[in-house]
């Protein structure tokens, strides 16, 4: 990506942002990166530690999301969860009678989903789907921000939805308090928190940081209408220390400092927009 490339949301001009390899649209505030993606490469993450660290916040967010969308996802709904990872969302959806299947490109994650007895297909969205496949619901749980060419992805979502079907996208947003604070620290020369927000150095870093209007515009351009939007809790303290430690490059002392900073952030973050928001888009009948 060069600084001359256009914004994927509004075609405005992109300028280099605080962190090297990241860019921000001067017109709409959409951010993107060209951080390297290395799915299925040998990696420094201890997957079992990561799983233990992530599960409490993911389970809490999935329960909140499924409660908020219960009327849109009646039992029997044919649902595709893109980037299903361990399959925790598939399990939560199945417990509510939703006919959920997953799609996952990371073979280690896919093995875990299969070991749990879950229906999941290997590969990337939308190439790995059967020709002409359509679903009543498609979900992206902390996934859409990792996808290349998000505008093309939004169009692929519209094509893979049955008429009247819904897409649920939950993701970290650029308006979030923690992200904005991390950008301020980054400008002051303290880039670590912002690098973590982008997941720099991990196998699948964030390629987009959306503002709510940028995401809505991208899906509207694909023919989908926003029908619901809300916030999910962005910091759950349970498992937080382990979540910080799952990257083996973070030592105990640094982890303790990050943990303390996160607790302090949680105390004030309740006053500001949550970093994790969900958006529900519908394909017209
Ligand atoms: Zn833009």
Alpha carbon of 58 to ligand 1 centroid (Å): 30
% of the chain at pLDDT higher than 90: 67
Alpha carbon of 132 to ligand 1 centroid (Å): 31
pTM here? Answer: 0.85
Q: Is position 1 within any domain? A: no
Q: Is position 141 within any domain? A: yes
Alpha carbon of 15 to ligand 1 centroid (Å): 11
Q: Is position 77 within any domain? A: yes
From CA 95, how far away is CA 100, in angstroms rounded?
10
Is it the case that residue 136 has pLDDT exceeding 60? yes
From CA 79, how far away is CA 98, in angstroms rounded?
7
Alpha carbon of 212 to ligand 1 centroid (Å): 12
Number of folded domains that form the chain: 1
Q: Is position 202 within any domain? A: yes
Q: Is position 9 within any domain? A: no
Alpha carbon of 14 to ligand 1 centroid (Å): 8
Alpha carbon of 149 to ligand 1 centroid (Å): 14
CB count within 10 Å of CB 284 equals 9
Structure tokens at 242: 């382990």
Strands 99-104 and 225-232: unpaired
Alpha carbon of 214 to ligand 1 centroid (Å): 7
Structure tokens at 235: 């910091």
From CA 138, how far away is CA 233, in angstroms rounded?
22
The pLDDT score that the predictor gives to residue 246 is 59
Alpha carbon of 269 to ligand 1 centroid (Å): 26
Mean pLDDT calculated for residue range 177-198: 91
Q: Which of 16-20, 102-106, 257-261 has the lowest mean pLDDT?
A: 257-261
% of the chain at pLDDT higher than 70: 85
Alpha carbon of 208 to ligand 1 centroid (Å): 12
The pLDDT score that the predictor gives to residue 5 is 82
- For residue 43, give Cα distances in angstroms to 53, 71, 84, 193, 285: 17, 40, 19, 21, 44
Alpha carbon of 12 to ligand 1 centroid (Å): 5
Mean pLDDT calculated for residue range 244-249: 61
Q: Is position 4 within any domain? A: no
The DSSP bridge partners found for residue 122 are: 104
| 97 vs 256: which has the higher pLDDT | 97
What's the whole-number average pLDDT of the chain?
88
The pLDDT score that the predictor gives to residue 44 is 52
Mean pLDDT calculated for residue range 169-179: 92
From CA 21, how far away is CA 224, in angstroms rounded?
30
Q: Which domain holds residue 61?
A: 14-34+43-282
Are 113 and 120 a contacting pair, CB within 8 Å? yes
Q: Is position 27 within any domain? A: yes
The pLDDT score that the predictor gives to residue 9 is 93
Query: b/e per residue, 246-266, with b = 16+ CB within 10 A?
Result: bbeebeeeebeebbebbeebb
Structure tokens at 191: 């880039």
Is it the case that residue 235 has pLDDT exceeding 70? no
Alpha carbon of 96 to ligand 1 centroid (Å): 38
The pLDDT score that the predictor gives to residue 2 is 47
Is it the case that residue 90 has pLDDT exceeding 60? yes
Dihedral class, residue 189 (left if φ above 0, else alpha if ψ from -120 to 50, else beta): left
Q: Which of 16-30, 37-51, 114-128, 140-154 has the lowest mean pLDDT?
A: 37-51
The pLDDT score that the predictor gives to residue 172 is 92
CATH of the domain at 223: 3.40.50.150
Alpha carbon of 24 to ligand 1 centroid (Å): 8
- The pLDDT tens digits of the residues spanning 8-35 come to 999 999 999 999 999 999 999 999 999 9
Mean pLDDT calculated for residue range 179-208: 91
Alpha carbon of 196 to ligand 1 centroid (Å): 23
Q: Is position 73 within any domain? A: yes
| 154 vs 108: which has the higher pLDDT | 154
Q: Which residues contact 257 (CB under 8 A, 6 or more apart)?
A: none
The pLDDT score that the predictor gives to residue 60 is 86
| 119 vs 273: which has the higher pLDDT | 119
Mean pLDDT calculated for residue range 239-266: 67
Are 104 and 122 a contacting pair, CB within 8 Å? yes
The pLDDT score that the predictor gives to residue 203 is 85
| 236 vs 266: which has the higher pLDDT | 266
The pLDDT score that the predictor gives to residue 19 is 95
> Using a CB cutoff of 8 Å and minimum separation of 24, what contacts does 238-242 make?
238/56, 238/57, 239/52, 239/53, 239/54, 239/55, 239/56, 239/57, 240/53, 242/49, 242/52, 242/53
At 3, the pLDDT band (50, 70, 90 cuts) reads: very low
């Amino acid at each position: 990506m060069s600084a001359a490339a256009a914004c994927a949301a509004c075609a405005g001009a992109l300028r280099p942002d605080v962190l090297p390899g990241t860019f921000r649209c001067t017109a709409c505030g959409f951010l993107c990166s060209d951080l390297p993606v290395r799915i299925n490469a040998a990696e420094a993450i201890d997957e079992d530690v990561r799983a233990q660290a992530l599960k409490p916040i993911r389970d809490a967010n999935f329960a909140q999301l499924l409660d908020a969308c219960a009327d849109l996802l009646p039992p029997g709904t044919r649902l595709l969860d893109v980037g299903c990872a361990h399959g925790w969302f598939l399990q939560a959806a199945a417990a509510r009678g939703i006919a959920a299947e997953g799609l996952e490109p990371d073979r280690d994650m896919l093995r875990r989903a299969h070991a749990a007895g879950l229906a999941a297909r290997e590969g990337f969205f939308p190439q790995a789907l059967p020709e002409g496949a359509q679903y009543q619901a498609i979900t992206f749980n902390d996934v859409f921000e990792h996808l290349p060419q998000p505008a093309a992805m939004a169009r692929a979502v519209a094509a893979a939805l049955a008429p009247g079907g819904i897409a649920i996208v939950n993701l970290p947003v650029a308006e979030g308090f923690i992200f904005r604070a991390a950008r301020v620290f980054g400008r002051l020369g303290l880039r670590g928190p912002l690098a973590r927000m982008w997941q720099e150095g991990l196998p699948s870093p964030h390629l987009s940081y959306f503002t709510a209007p940028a995401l809505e515009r991208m899906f509207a351009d694909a023919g989908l209408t926003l029908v619901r939007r809300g916030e999910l809790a962005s910091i759950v303290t349970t498992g937080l220390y382990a979540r910080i430690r799952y990257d083996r490059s973070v030592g105990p002392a640094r982890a303790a400092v990050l943990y303390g900073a996160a607790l302090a952030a949680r105390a004030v973050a309740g006053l500001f927009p949550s970093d994790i928001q969900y958006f529900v888009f519908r394909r017209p009948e």
